[in-house]
Amino acid sequence: MNTFFDESGALNIDEIILKHPSFNKIMEDGVVTNEELEELQGQVVNLLKKLEESLNPHQIDQVRELLAEVSVLVAVNSYKQGL
């Protein structure tokens, strides 16, 4: 998959998540453990460190802003779903 969007131009993050090996590995037994979360956090940190090494300062700022906005989106969506 080479795009973040589906045919209609909508963000296809749900499809990306559902097809991602780390999501499927964690969800296969229907239980999310602290160990799985710690492992996933480590994977994210490692990926960000590798990415940061290949980016210039402007690109790093763009990625930081993207991560912040995605995190806000997840947080407010979770909050709304909990209401």
Angle at 76 between CA 21 and CA 61, to 5 degrees: 70
**DSSP per-residue letters across 42-80:** HHHHHHHHHHHHHS-HHHHHHHHHHHHHHHHHHHHHHHH
pTM given for the model:
0.78
- Write down the domain spans for the chain: 33-82
Are 36 and 51 a contacting pair, CB within 8 Å?
A: no
- pLDDT tens, residue by residue, 22-58: 999 999 999 999 999 999 999 999 999 999 999 999 9
pLDDT at 74 over 90: no
pLDDT at 14: 85
Which of the pair, 3 or 54, is modelled with greater confidence?
54
The CA–CA distances, whole Å, from 29 to 2, 64, 67 equal: 29, 33, 28
